[in-house]
Amino acid sequence: MQTSRPCPTRSASVTASTSGGQLALGRNVHYYRRLHGWDERTFADKVGISRVSVFRIEHGTQAPSLRTICRLAEVLQVEVYELFTPKAFPLGDEEDLASGA
């Protein structure tokens, strides 16, 4: 397992180099949140962001700050790089994301 690197102390805006990168982030956040059994409100409270921000991140319409990305990974108990790695999801999860579940 790779050693975690500390997240920066200053907030920096992060934009995905392609819309695909931002979509991978959103889908992975959605997948891991659902894996933990959290609804958007519960997850938002744990991360320290609004429920609307969770929705927008998961749907690829908001690029979170670097600090928020680090916080997402910490709460989801994954490495930051795992949030940006495209994955094949179990049947049903992509339909849930498309429907806003």
CATH code at position 38? 1.10.260.40
Q: Percentage of the chain with pLDDT > 90? A: 60
How does the average pLDDT of the chain come out, rounded? 81
Domain count, the chain: 1
- End-to-end, the C-alpha distance of the chain in Å comes to 31
pLDDT at 35: 95
Check residue 4 and give its pLDDT.
55
Indicate if the pLDDT at residue 22 is higher than 50.
yes
55 falls within a domain: yes
Q: What is the pTM of this model?
A: 0.74
CB atoms within 10 A of CB 42: 14
Provide the total of helices (H) and of strands (E) in the chain, helices listed first.
6, 0
> For residue 34, what are the domain limits?
19-85
The answer to whether position 93 is within a domain reads no
Query: Is 60 exceeded by the pLDDT of residue 67?
Result: yes
Sign of the alpha-carbon dihedral angle for 59, 65, 69, 71 = negative
Q: What is the CA radius of gyration of the chain?
A: 13
